Amino acid sequence: MAELNDPSAARERLAAAQAELLNALLANGPAPAGFDEQRLNVERRALLSKRRGIVRMLGPAVADELGDRFRPLFDAYAVEHPRRAGSRAREDAAAFAEWCRAAGELSANRKARWKFWQSN
Amino acid sequence: MAGIADLGVGIGWRSEIDLTVERLPGVDFVEVVAENLHIGHLPESVTLLLERGIPVLPHAVSLSLGGADPVDLNRVEHLGKVAEAVGAPMVSDHVCFVRAGGLDSGHLMPVPRTKDALDVLVANVKLAQENLPVPLALENVAALLEWPDGELSEGQFLAELVERTGCWLLVDVANLYANARNIGTDPERFLDEIPLERLAYVHVAGGEHHGDVYHDTHAHAVLPEVLGVLDELCSRVRPPGVLLERDDNYPSDTEIASELAAIRAVVDKHGPAQWLN
């Protein structure tokens, strides 16, 4: 290939910038220079909302048991535990449930709320 | 130029709407999310569509080609294997990053439009292309925020990417609308700047406004404004294909059929192909 320029220096600069942005958006890190604060908040809320929706979908029984507490608890969990690269959404849902149990927010021995042979 | 075959109008295949996709009239092709498929265990519905001769195009969401790390070849290999399993003429992912600093954003994040970011993206795309059995198309994403110090417009950035890698473009007109609303991108300028002869196909999707922000949800109806951007695109070139993406809050078959018909009407309004392969 004609293009032999090594992008390693560019990779390093880009890695720092992207890591700083995700740290701000996912882990309450400081806002990176040059970004619009309001836009960062919009993005932060959008990412959190998407993640919350996926965890709700994957663990409806947990969300049901928590009721109105689901959202504030999930949001507190999420910022303490940003999703690690390589982790799966199901692991996120399981870790949230575990976090809630450890905090006494979920019953330790979760009773089945319905049986598959019952309708709803 | 070896172009892509005419695809027609299609819809994103999702397991939740598999029967709908099978029975809807006027589905000329489908996309599958590559990460959701397992080689050797294709969903019956996808096999059925393949038996009918419907092209199935794998669409990836996790390569993070715009990320600073070299592209993960395991993910590329999976995408390639899905392409071979469904006999796809092409695969796609996005111009975005999803992982950085050990974290996963869970979403398609925009890359800075700088020379650094372009150099890294080009290197990643070339590595992916070398390891894929079919051509790669790359899609513009919807951004809720703008990186500072952009050196190129979004259209210029994609044009450079195409020139340096020979990739194809998957233009999402809903994302163009979202960026126009949210960060002030000019869709017409974007369409002027990208090489339309490298257009693989087009995405259309629904969304909703929250205050002054447009959210590209893929869970609401397609807005007339988004069809307006499709109309603008079609006034310049007949797209080889247009595909509707719906990922949640699924409406009735009738509503999906009418969205597909509305898309087809916009494409057909502009008459026969202005160029074909």
Q: What is the mean pLDDT of the segment spanning A14-37?
A: 97
What's the rounded Cα separation, in Å, for the pair B156 and B160? 6
Which of A6, A14, A87 is best to mutate for the B interface (most B CBs within 10 A)?
Answer: A14
- Min Cα distance B212 → chain A (Å) is 11
Any A CB within 8 A of B220 CB: no
Number of domains in chain A: 1
Q: Report the C-alpha dihedral over residues A44, A48, A49, A55, rounded to 10 degrees.
A: 170
Any A CB within 8 A of B147 CB: yes
List domains and CATH numbers for chain B: 8-269 (3.20.20.150)
Does a structural domain hold residue A102? yes
Query: For every one of its 277 residues, what pLDDT tens digit does chain B have, with 9 covering 90 and above?
Result: 345 679 999 999 999 999 999 999 989 999 999 999 999 999 999 999 999 999 999 999 999 999 999 999 999 999 999 999 999 999 999 999 999 999 999 999 999 999 999 999 999 999 999 999 999 999 999 999 999 999 999 999 999 999 999 999 999 999 999 999 999 999 999 999 999 999 999 999 999 999 999 999 999 999 999 999 999 999 999 999 999 999 999 999 999 999 999 999 999 999 765 444 3
Interchain CB distance below 8 Å, B100 and A84:
no
Residues of B in contact with A23 (CB under 8 A): 101, 103
Q: Is the pLDDT of residue A107 over 90?
A: no
Q: Are strands B97-100 and B103-109 parallel, antiparallel or unpaired?
A: antiparallel
- Min Cα distance A1 → chain B (Å) is 10
**pTM higher than 0.90 for the full model?**
yes
Any A CB within 8 A of B107 CB: yes
pLDDT for res A119: 47
Q: What range does the domain containing A88 cover?
A: 19-25+41-109
What's the rounded Cα separation, in Å, for the pair B48 and B39? 16
Does a structural domain hold residue A91? yes
Does a structural domain hold residue A52? yes
Single-letter amino acid code for the residue at B23: R
Any A CB within 8 A of B110 CB: no
pLDDT for res B191: 98
Question: What does the block give as tokens for B57?
Answer: 């195009």
- Min Cα distance A70 → chain B (Å) is 20
Does a structural domain hold residue A88? yes
Q: Any idea which of A8-17, A27-36, A103-112, B169-178 has the lowest mean pLDDT?
A: A103-112
Does a structural domain hold residue A75? yes
Of B106, B149, B164, the CB nearest to A51: B106
Does a structural domain hold residue A66? yes
- Min Cα distance B217 → chain A (Å) is 10
Does a structural domain hold residue A86? yes
- Min Cα distance B168 → chain A (Å) is 19
Does a structural domain hold residue A55? yes
Q: Is the pLDDT of residue A96 over 70?
A: yes
Of A22, A34, A54, the CB nearest to B100: A22
Q: The complex's ipTM?
A: 0.93
Residues of A in contact with B213 (CB under 8 A): 42
DSSP string, A4-16: ---THHHHHHHHH
Which of A18, A39, A84 is best to mutate for the B interface (most B CBs within 10 A)?
Answer: A18
What's the rounded Cα separation, in Å, for the pair B55 and B50? 7
Give the residue on A whose Cα is nearest the Cα of B215.
A46
